[in-house]
Amino acid sequence: MTPATAGHVLVVGSKPGLTDSLRKAAVPALVVVGDGAAADRTVGPGVDVLPVTDPHDPGAVLAALARRPGTTVRGVAALDERSVVPAALLRSALGVPGTSPQVAIACRDKAVQKDAVRAAGLRVARAELVAPHEPHRVAAAVDACGGTVVVKPVDGVGAHLTTLARTTAQAGDAVARVHRAGRPALVEELVTGAEHHVDGWVGDGVVRFTSTARYRDNVLAVRSGAVVRSVLLPVEHPVQRAATTLAQDAVTALGLRTGVFHLEFFVEPDGGLVFSECGARPGGGFITQTVAARYGVDLRAVAVRLAVGEEVAAPTTVAEGSYGFTFLTADPGTVVRTPDTAAVLGLPGVLDVLLPFGPGQVVPDHRTSSGRRFGLALLTAPDDAALGERLDRTVEHVHRGTVVEAAP
């Protein structure tokens, strides 16, 4: 492919820290942001933005482009999960190269994805789709998936509406909740291994770079009060090598030839890897920042560069020490006072912190989804044990320093 050299890359899925990633990408970018009361505040000054009624509606994006004559789009980058399919549709509609809608669906829709990965011979949880017009299928789906199941929206993001169900009745309730949100539900076999994620990119069908990390608790445990935390595995760790093989097999099965990916999997007690899901976009939370801290490569910048057909070389240097990130927590309620960001940055090992809530804002209950949290912190330490202690101390510091007024 000969990349076009003039025009913008359209960036769908604005994120905190995006301004820095775009500077590193050094490609002219036009960032799709929310309009009106939903206006996006995560993009800094100096970034060209395209205000849109709904950033995830390709029709709305195309309408906004129509109101802005003279803009040439030469690539479309998806930076979050909900942007993957809209970005693919925009690529096709605008006639620019990149991941097609068919591949995007395989990377986005959990039912289509699991079928494709299973067909390629990878280990993956059994799963059954229960559409809103066929709720009577719940019992059969639970039976087919082994009794204890996980119920989730087929296009869910960040464990929202994801429920562990130990009985058919619980599964029925969980499926009904998903259906009330207007979505088909996926009933999945519960996999009990340790949850990991591998992040990287693929170019011309070949995985070029991977970074593997382990979640401290499986993400589903968030619903029981666990705090999402992830620590990078050592480069020589056997799971890191196995994860790279899994990632290659998975992206091949999904048809993803070029782009950044975030793949989650379980390591079972026998050491085997079980595929969970794979997104065609950079991981959420502080995954981009954590990978950048160790490897010096910004996965969002890579996504933007790949979107315009640039070749991106894998990093050759690896920073010493352990790296990980954690969600920061506060009790649900209205924020009265937050800790000073500079003070948090001054804690041992803290490299970056995000505290987006200010006084008067309402902190949601983080147990409702892995994507909701009070803040994020990226830390380093000489080893994993020290890193664990520092992560604990940072979470505790922020929690103690945050005053909220509980909802009546």
Residues in contact with another protein by the rule CB under 8 A: 35-39, 53, 56-59, 62-63, 66-67, 85-86, 88-89, 92-93, 101-102, 104-106, 108-109, 111-112, 129, 131-133, 154-155, 179, 182-184
Residue 338 CB neighbour total at 10 angstroms = 22
The three-state secondary structure class of 72 is coil
**Closer of 121 and 182 to another protein (Cβ):** 182
SS3 content of the chain, % helix, strand, coil (to 5): 35, 25, 40
Q: Of 58, 158, 57, 155, which Cα lies nearest the Cα of 108?
A: 155
**Closer of 67 and 342 to another protein (Cβ):** 67
**Closer of 162 and 289 to another protein (Cβ):** 162
**Closer of 129 and 246 to another protein (Cβ):** 129
Least separation in angstroms between CB 276 and another protein? 19
- Pairing assessment for the beta strands 73-78 and 8-12 based on DSSP bridges: parallel
Distance CA 405, CA 408 (A): 9
**Closer of 17 and 86 to another protein (Cβ):** 86
Q: Of 197, 199, 194, which Cα lies nearest the Cα of 211?
A: 199
**Closer of 95 and 269 to another protein (Cβ):** 95
Instruction: Look up residue 29 and give its amino acid.
Output: A
Residues in the chain: 408
Residue 5 CB neighbour total at 10 angstroms = 8
Least separation in angstroms between CB 166 and another protein? 27
Least separation in angstroms between CB 36 and another protein? 4
Q: Residues 6 or more apart from 65 whose CB is under 8 A from it?
A: 50, 71, 73
65 CA to centre of own chain:
27
Least separation in angstroms between CB 307 and another protein? 17
Least separation in angstroms between CB 4 and another protein? 18
**Closer of 112 and 347 to another protein (Cβ):** 112
Least separation in angstroms between CB 5 and another protein? 24
Least separation in angstroms between CB 98 and another protein? 12
Least separation in angstroms between CB 90 and another protein? 8
**Which residue carries 């809608």 as its tokens?**
101
Q: Of 397, 406, 405, which Cα lies nearest the Cα of 339?
A: 397
- Crossing angle of helices 110-119/238-254, nearest 10°? 100
**Closer of 90 and 202 to another protein (Cβ):** 90
